Amino acid sequence: MSESWRITTMLLTVLLISSALAWYVVRRARWAFALPRSVTRALGVVCALGLVAATLSRSLGIEYAGAAAALGAFGGAVMLSIAISSVLLIPVEVGRGIAKLVSTLTTRADGAPKGESAASPESPPRRAFIAQAAAGGALTLGVGSSVYGTVFGRRDYTVETIPVRLEKLPAALSGLTIVQLSDLHVGTFVGERELAAAISLVRDAKADVVVLTGDLLDHDVSYAPVLSRFARSLQGLARYGVFAVPGNHDHYAGAREVLRGLREADCKVLLNRHVRIGQPGAQLVLAGLDDVAGPRFGSPGPLLDEAFAGAPDQLARVLLSHNPAFFPTSHKQSDLTLSGHTHGGQVTLFINPAELVLRHGLVRGLYTVEGSQLYVNRGFGTAGPPTRIGSPPEVTRLVLHG
């Protein structure tokens, strides 16, 4: 199956499921809020328009970036409202089912509760009120959180300062600062406005090294010049330079063009290779890997031995690897691995689903396995719906100590 057909199939599947859930949510909204038929129809139209807008925004190129961003934001908010509301309504449906079962088991043949006279007041109206209130709360929270995440959450940028101890780090490099950007997803929803914010945050972080750990483009290779200009703007903000590795989305878009644009911007692409950072006698090894998705697109994929070939064992090793799922394979050859890919879950309301479904559960933050450390950056942009809830976009400032 070709990549374009795979993506098309996935989008159609999502659209079909979202349509079914939208029908369900609209029916529940009518019941919970006692909506008149005209309002219910209007709500159904809004849902339908949102689903169409979300799909249409994916097909518009850079020449229609403004329209695509507006359509995508509206459509994304609608789709996420439907999805979150559907999930939050599950406990309501379970509660209604249990209440109905209990009522059936405790009701006499004449319709009165067992142990009471037929004239006693009945509880179903009270249970119905409670169920309607719970459903209304679920729907309100679903819509409200989605709108917040789309309008504010995706631009609620944070700088995380993480101290990291590396035993092999020479004293002369203690305090070295690596600033990590990951999952920019330059495209429809991450353009000049968002990239200007990223540049400002990197400047304030006072980096010695800037690293870009993949998914730098979203899905449209025509945005490669925008990414290249951004990489050029980072030059001079780090005394040892800017380094990058590709992610799966870079391969989806066209890794050859993405990496060529980065190299033209004087960004050092570490595709299964390493460099030394520092001065003679006081250095560390900085290596980078191709993404695990690479072989599907004619790229070599992560070649760990090749990346560290010739690197002295006595030097501290920092590895750039987009997907943290590769860490259980690579951790014995690196002291610190910097990854992204997961977006920290991107949408985490009460629980983080990514921690339950992603392999190894390496989703965000600092992990240690057998003495090797991994930091998973939450990412700067978004994938899918342009929204973030409970997982704000991140610039990481890692301060190394010996």
- How many C-beta neighbours within 10 Å does residue 118 have? 10
* Residue among 396, 400, 399 at smallest CA distance from 160: 396
Assess contact for 212 and 184: CB atoms under 8 A.
Answer: yes
Per CATH, the homologous superfamily of domain 160-401 is Metallo-dependent phosphatases (3.60.21.10)
Q: Which two tokens stand for residue 324?
A: 């943290």
Cα–Cα separations (whole angstroms), residue 352 to 29, 138, 156, 250, 390:
26, 18, 18, 26, 9
402 residues of the chain, pLDDT tens digit each: 565 677 678 778 888 999 999 999 999 999 999 999 999 999 999 999 999 999 889 888 898 899 999 999 999 999 999 999 999 999 999 988 888 888 788 865 555 555 544 444 445 677 788 889 999 999 999 999 999 999 999 999 999 999 999 999 999 999 999 999 999 999 999 999 999 999 999 999 999 999 999 999 998 999 999 999 999 999 999 999 999 999 999 999 999 999 999 999 999 999 999 999 999 889 999 999 999 999 999 999 999 999 999 999 999 999 999 999 999 999 999 999 999 999 999 999 888 988 888 878 899 999 999 999 999 999 999 998 999 999 999 999 999 998
Query: Where exactly are the structural domains of the chain?
Result: 3-151, 160-401
Crossing angle for the helix pair 3-33 and 37-57, nearest 10 degrees? 160
- How many C-beta neighbours within 10 Å does residue 282 have? 15
- What is this structure's pTM? 0.91
Q: What sign results for the dihedral spanned by CA atoms 66, 69, 141, 349?
A: negative
207-243 b/e (C-beta count within 10 Å ≥ 16 → b): bbbbbbbbbbbbbbbebbebbbebbbbbeebbebbbb
**Distance from chain centroid for Cα 284:** 30
Query: How open is the CA angle 93-98-99, to the nearest 5 degrees?
Result: 95
**Distance from chain centroid for Cα 75:** 17
> What is the Cα–Cα distance from 105 to 114, expressed in whole angstroms?
9
Q: Pinpoint the alpha helices (H) of 115-254.
A: 124-151, 192-205, 224-234, 248-253
